[in-house]
Structure 1
């Protein structure tokens, strides 16, 4: 793990911040608060999956513990020299349980029952209301829900940075054929930092989704993380990549408390390394995250004067301006363009309606809630 942190300039970043005073909400399958590398740093939130598993079955909490250790593992033993060090080792973890592991006995019930349809949205709102500075979503599904979109907006309005996995469908047949994977949610909602995965050489990982929602990338191949009961696991995915970026966001918020989510994102994007030749790529976004460079970039953004920029929060654009003059002349070209735009808008709404499925969730649609 040390080599991965060095590739992200994390040891250098620790000279500027280590995550003190920051809470990262890990919305996942739960976090083992007794894991030696996380002991004393975890607050367990509500279990929104309660009742899905049979009575007496304890939560597995593997995926969530793994992600939390990448974000805020502080090691153990004398001087913390043993075990797992995360990106922001002095950050705290808030851990609402919002999903089940795939091999938990209640997984089928969880994916099919309507009462569990809003667990991620509920967990996000809980995290915001209980002091989270960053929300880590190492999960996703292939269709959007209104409740999650509104929860994301709720978080961002209240100054919380939301980071989510771009998804692991990059190797699917349709993705290989078209070069563009389906969007993953919540990662593809506006304002979310969508994270793709790269290998040790910084190359796009084959499994990682490619789409225009991707913002940045981070290591996601053969990543070591802590597990429950003192174990350690190695795995691939955009899940660990997301955890790395959440850790960097935590360092920025530790150095600059209250820095707006958009500015945290700007610092991460502006300082990314291994940028694509054209500046942006569907597979890796604007490049691979760099912790030290991101903190340096955040210093400049935090010092920027914003006095007088834009309208006050209680005003709306053109609210007090004269009403626009009506233009009577309409050329044939303008009318045709207007008709085409309206037609495209109607088609877009129809397509969106086809993707937003009310009511229950099928197993196929819900299965990718975990496994980002």
Structure 2
């Protein structure tokens, strides 16, 4: 079975398309939760390229026109020849990240979290109603499209990579591609998954659960974990994921729910941070996101919402505090992006040093073990001898007392009374 067989958008549509004049007002609560108004006083994401690894983006949507660079279609060959891609999911995600609206003052349509950022569209998935969906999820030639998409985005200058996608296990190539992206200073954000309904602990989703990737859960209107959002120990942060309005292909608008939407919103905040602090490492961007949250759980962390709900203004404030620091891993192989994640997957150009083996002196272990056993046996023999002697002494005293009682019955009370009383008192203290 291919690892890619369960690759699918982490996305659920909740309603029919909405009109443009309804969208901005319907976005108000989400934008207020993220506190983008205060964040936009510092930056709107200009100069940052955000790669959207998804089903494709409509570059002609009037809320995205001029902001989209179309990259390769890595799913080519899955659909029958001549079938146009739907690009619904990808357009939706791109609009939440970098939608700039339209009309007078751009006050209509979708406004993204980083409206001045640009989007690089890389098609790595099919919508589930496209005719090639089954072929795409079952053929080996498509197994590593996500890994290829990550490397392409990094090489084209993306500073943030949004992956609102989900699968049940990663490939070795995906692990290596993520290491490559992190080594180049690229922030990776992915969806925690939508299989949490009715589960105390939801499954782990990939690539969200891989080291170096920010795993995002969905929050409901009350900023608690949304019922469908996966709950696991690798969720780092949450963002609104219920009734989120966004753009669709052909100048349409949609409202939906899912960890996909939450992921896109967090990618937008990451873009704001990278625009303000372009040299900030992915680890420090993640730290700014997690320490600048609102609704932090009572114990500091919860597997449903991670460290809390992302807040753009607070994240930028934390980034300002962290900007004077560096957070770079060191040690053998730490900066080698092609080093395998585990043994047995092929030799990398810079293998880890051999494991030091500590050899034990088995002869001394046997000697000391024998001495300990002998000492234990000797102790047991000594205790047995003491018990035997005590029993013999007791029988002798009882025999002498019996003979004395037969000779002088008047001595019974004098002999046995004090001894019995003394024995009782002694037993209370000894016991």
Q: Which residue of 2 aligns with 1:241?
A: 262
Structure 2 CA distance, aligned partners of 1:269 and 1:69?
Answer: 24
Q: Which has the larger radius of gyration?
A: 2
Among 70, 75, 84, the residue aligned to 2:110: 84
Higher relative contact order (CA 8 A, sep 6+): 1
Task: Tell me which residue corresponds to 2:290.
Answer: 269
1: CA distance, partners of 2:122 / 2:70: 6
1:250 aligns with 271
| 8 A contact 2:45–2:271 mirrored in 1 | yes
Instruction: Show the counterpart of 2:83.
Output: 57
Q: 2:176 aligns with which of 120, 141, 150?
A: 150
Corresponding residue of 2:17: none
1:229 alignment partner, SS class:
coil
Partner residue, 1:128? 154
Find 1:218's aligned residue among 236, 239, 245. 239
Is the alpha carbon distance of 1:326 and 1:95 closer, same or farther for their aligned partners in structure 2, counting shifts above 3 Å?
A: same
> What is the Cα deviation at residue 214 of structure 1?
0.2
Q: Report the 3-state secondary structure (helix = DSSP H, G, I; strand = E; otherwise coil) of the residue aligned with 1:27.
A: strand
Partner residue of 1:162?
188
**1:314 to partner: Cα distance:** 9.3
Give the equivalent residue in structure 1 for 2:202: 181
Q: 1:207 aligns with which of 213, 223, 228?
A: 228
The residue that corresponds to 2:309 in the other structure is 288
Q: Deviations over 1:68-122 (max 9, x none)?
A: 0000000011221111000000000000100000001111111111111111111
Find the aligned partners of 2:209 and 2:185 in 1 and give their Cα distance: 19
Give the match for residue 387 of structure 2. Answer: none
Among candidates 274, 278, 281, match of residue 260 of structure 1: 281
CA separation in 2, counterparts of 1:124 and 1:36? 27
The answer to which of 248-257 and 135-144 deviates more is 135-144
Map of 1:33 onto structure 2: 59
Q: Distance in 2 between matches of 1:97 and 1:120?
A: 9
| Corresponding residue number in structure 2 for 1:68 | 94
Q: How far off is 1:51 after superposition?
A: 1.2
- 3-state SS of 2:287 partner: helix
Provide the aligned length of Structure 1 versus Structure 2. Answer: 322
Report the counterpart of residue 350 of structure 1 in structure 2: none
**SS at 1:115's partner residue?**
helix
Pair 1:16 & 2:55 matched: no
Q: For residues 220-278 of structure 1, give each alpha carbon's deviation from its aligned partner in whole angstroms, at most 9, with x where no partner exists.
A: 00110000010000001000000010000000000001210000000000111101111
Partner of 1:364: none
Using the alignment, how far apart are the partners of 1:312 and 1:149 within structure 2?
A: 18
SS at match of 1:214: coil
Matches within 5 A, 1:94-105: 94-105=120-131
Mapped partners of 1:3, 1:221: distance in 2 = 11
TM-score (normalised: structure 1) = 0.82
Any unmatched runs of 5+ in structure 2? 1-26, 337-354, 366-431
How far 1:2 moved relative to its partner? 2.1
- 1:201, distance to aligned residue in structure 2 (A): 1.4
1:300 corresponding residue in structure 2: 321
Task: Name the CA shift for 1:150/1:9 in 2 (closer, same or farther; >3 Å).
Answer: same
Query: Shift of residue 310 of structure 1?
Result: 6.4
Distance (whole Å) between structure 2 residues aligned to residue 315 and residue 226 of structure 1: 39
Conserved 8 A contact 2:216-2:262 = yes
Structure 1 residues 64 and 329 mapped into 2: Cα distance closer, same or farther (>3 Å)? same
Residues 181 and 6 of structure 1: CA distance in aligned 2, closer, same or farther (over 3 Å): same
Alpha-carbon distance change, 315 to 286 in structure 1, aligned in 2, over 3 angstroms: closer
In the TM superposition, residue 8 of structure 1 has moved relative to its aligned partner by 0.8
Asked whether the 8 Å contact 2:281–2:327 carries over to 1, the reply is no
Q: Does the 8 A contact of 2:283 with 2:327 survive in 1? A: no
1:55, distance to aligned residue in structure 2 (A):
1.4
Deviation string, structure 1 residues 124-169 (Cα, Å, up to 9, x no partner): 1100010000000000111221111111111111110000000000
Q: 1:326 to 1:296 in 2, by over 3 A?
A: same
Q: 2:276 & 2:218 partners in 1: Cα distance?
A: 26
CA contact (8 A) 2:281 2:326 kept: no
Q: Root-mean-square deviation (CA), in Å?
A: 2.5
How far residue 303 of structure 1 moved from its aligned partner, in angstroms, is 2.0
